[in-house]
């Protein structure tokens, strides 16, 4: 008899301790983080390490067009006349650059895992709601058909329970 009581007490204690709600677990984690922030941070960083990725990107930047003008004066003397000839040469210059960019991106895995767990909860909840909606629709249609059948049978003066 005493063995059964001990077994029942042990089972009840396991049930009470093992059934922590999400809010209680969040409160316990917050308390643990407040008391031991360094240990908590180390544990989280070991569980969800940040991953980083590096990449190289080339960017083509078109330069500005610069116009240079060179004026050339040539003087020619012919008997009584002096002829001045002016020559203009226009140079069009543009300097384009290709920029080499290296980047490093750090990904916070803990945040991604938290977001994914919330997303998975929403998907599961949506599936449950769809199932409940189909059950409710089936029950409503069944009740509507039953009520309609009762009205028809009442019109024919046949009584159903």
pLDDT in tens, 88-116: 767 677 777 888 888 787 777 777 777 77
Query: What is each CA distance from 119 to 107, 115, 132, in whole angstroms?
Result: 18, 6, 20
Counting residues of the chain whose pLDDT is more than 90, the rounded percentage is: 7
Extended strands (E) in 36-134: 51-61, 65-78, 81-94, 97-107
The Cα angle at residue 146 between residues 142 and 149, in degrees rounded to 5: 140
pTM > 0.75: yes or no? no
Q: Give the C-alpha separation, 48 to 113, whole Å.
A: 8
**pLDDT at 71 (0 to 100):** 67
Instruction: Tell me the pLDDT of the chain averaged across its residues.
Output: 76
Task: Please state whether 134 falls in left (phi above 0), alpha (psi between -120 and 50) or beta.
Answer: alpha
Q: Give the C-alpha separation, 68 to 24, whole Å.
A: 77
The Cα angle at residue 106 between residues 102 and 108, in degrees rounded to 5: 165
Domain boundaries, the chain: 1-47, 51-106, 108-161
**pLDDT at 135 (0 to 100):** 92
Question: Which pLDDT tens digit goes with each residue over 24-82?
Answer: 777 777 777 778 777 777 777 777 777 777 778 888 888 777 777 666 666 666 666 66
Residue 60 DSSP SS3? strand
pLDDT at 148 over 70: yes
């Amino acid at each position: 008899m005493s063995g059964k009581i001990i077994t029942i007490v042990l089972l009840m204690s396991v049930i009470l301790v093992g059934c922590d709600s999400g809010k209680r677990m969040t409160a316990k984690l917050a308390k643990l983080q407040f008391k031991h922030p360094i240990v908590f941070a180390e544990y989280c960083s070991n569980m969800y390490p940040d991953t980083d990725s590096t990449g190289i990107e080339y960017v083509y930047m078109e330069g500005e067009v610069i116009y240079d003008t060179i004026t050339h004066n040539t003087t020619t003397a012919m008997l009584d006349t002096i002829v001045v000839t002016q020559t203009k040469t226009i140079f069009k210059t543009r300097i384009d650059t290709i920029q080499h960019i290296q980047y490093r991106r750090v990904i916070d895995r803990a945040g991604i895992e938290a977001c994914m767990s919330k997303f998975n909860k929403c998907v599961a909840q949506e599936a449950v709601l769809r199932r409940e909606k189909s059950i409710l629709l089936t029950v409503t249609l069944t009740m509507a058909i039953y009520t309609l059948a009762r009205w028809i049978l009442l019109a024919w003066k046949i009584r159903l329970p």
